[in-house]
Amino acid sequence: MADTVLVCVTGQQSSQRLIHRGAEIAARHGAPLLVLSVSGSGVNLLSNPSVSQALNDLYRLSVEVGAEMTMLHHTDAHRAICDFAKERGVTHLVLGQGQNGENPFILRLMQALPQVTFMIEPA
């Protein structure tokens, strides 16, 4: 099975470092790079200029590093990421840890995607 690297980003400028990390991993494995942003119900990205600008910047960076960026609107981010990862044959997943240490969301993803190698980047 060929490798595929997925980077999950949020509407924050700090997500740029995750894309750079994913690009390093993809280059090392000769793998395609995918970038995914999932927005939940009630989120209107166009009404928040800073989030909209951050996502535009992340899209531009994705293009620069040769990644395909997908933006999904889904009420269950966990399910959206799992489904996307399975559909696209993801073998490596890059995520940001956040500032609060252990993250139950990430632990659930790891349990749901045991065949995927996770790279958790500190905040």
pLDDT, tens only, 77-91 = 999 999 999 999 999
DSSP letter for each residue of 103-115: -HHHHHHHHH-TT
* Torsion on CA atoms 105, 99, 34, 58, rounded to nearest 10: 140
Cα dihedral 103, 98, 42, 54 sign: negative
CATH code of the domain occupying 5-121: 3.40.50.620
| pLDDT per position as a tens digit, 22-36 | 999 999 999 999 999
The model carries a pTM of 0.91
With pLDDT > 90 as the criterion, what percentage of the chain qualifies? 68
**Domain coordinates in residue numbering, the chain:** 5-121
Residue 77 identity: A
Structure tokens at 56: 């535009």
Percent of the chain with pLDDT over 70: 89
